[in-house]
Structure 1
Amino acid sequence: MFRRVLAWFGVGDDADSDPDLDWADPDVEYGGDGPTRRYTCPECSATIEGTGPDEQVTCPACETAFKGVLVPDAAVCPDCGSRMDDISFYPETRRDTEHAACSTCDYRWESDPRR
């Protein structure tokens, strides 16, 4: 057990040999604010795009500000521009994106698992 703990920290003979300790997938983009989020304004039905935690979104058409916890209608794939419906948020905040996947081009984004 002690050898596994040392290997997890990158120390010892087994540091590069245990596949259970390899949590990072090289085909997945990690960290950042995640894909662009697309909202529909309930006042004027305009499409609003934004990134990052949804603490406040302001509609550029009617200047209505949406405060508090918001959930976007969809996310936009940064690779192909398609609508991403497979998007998950952290349940305790409902603001920060946990992961998002595009069914059109197989792009996948995940929050940084080291946090």
Structure 2
Amino acid sequence: MKSFTYNTCAYIHCCCPDVTFWDYSSLDSFLCEEQLLPQSEAIAIKRVIAFRLEQEMAQQQLTKADLARRMGTSRSALDRLLDPNNTSVTLLTLEKAAKALGRHIRIELAALRESAGRCDE
């Protein structure tokens, strides 16, 4: 199958010349402008965490019910933890899940890349 790409902004501008577009040099600058960067980063991190937990569950052939039982929590609480869009998770819950899987949590406070993660205020 052949793939075709085109500049969406140029296409829309051709059809609708009154539409204005902003030139964002990066996705980060767009998210900063829209005041969405912190939320977007939190969701991205949570998606990685949920993905890694599910990978470990699959490797150990554990069901959600099995993991919830090991954690001493409900299946619905585990579903919230595994929901990639639910960023309301506590470190205690993460630690319980990791321990139930024979793992531990490692959190690092790292320097920001110079061009990313900062919004001019």
Larger RCO (CA under 8 A, 6+ residues apart): 2
Whether TM-score is above 0.5 comes out as: no
Larger C-alpha radius of gyration, 1 or 2? 2
TM-score by length of 2: 0.27
Q: Between Structure 1 and Structure 2, which shows a larger proportion of strand residues?
A: 1
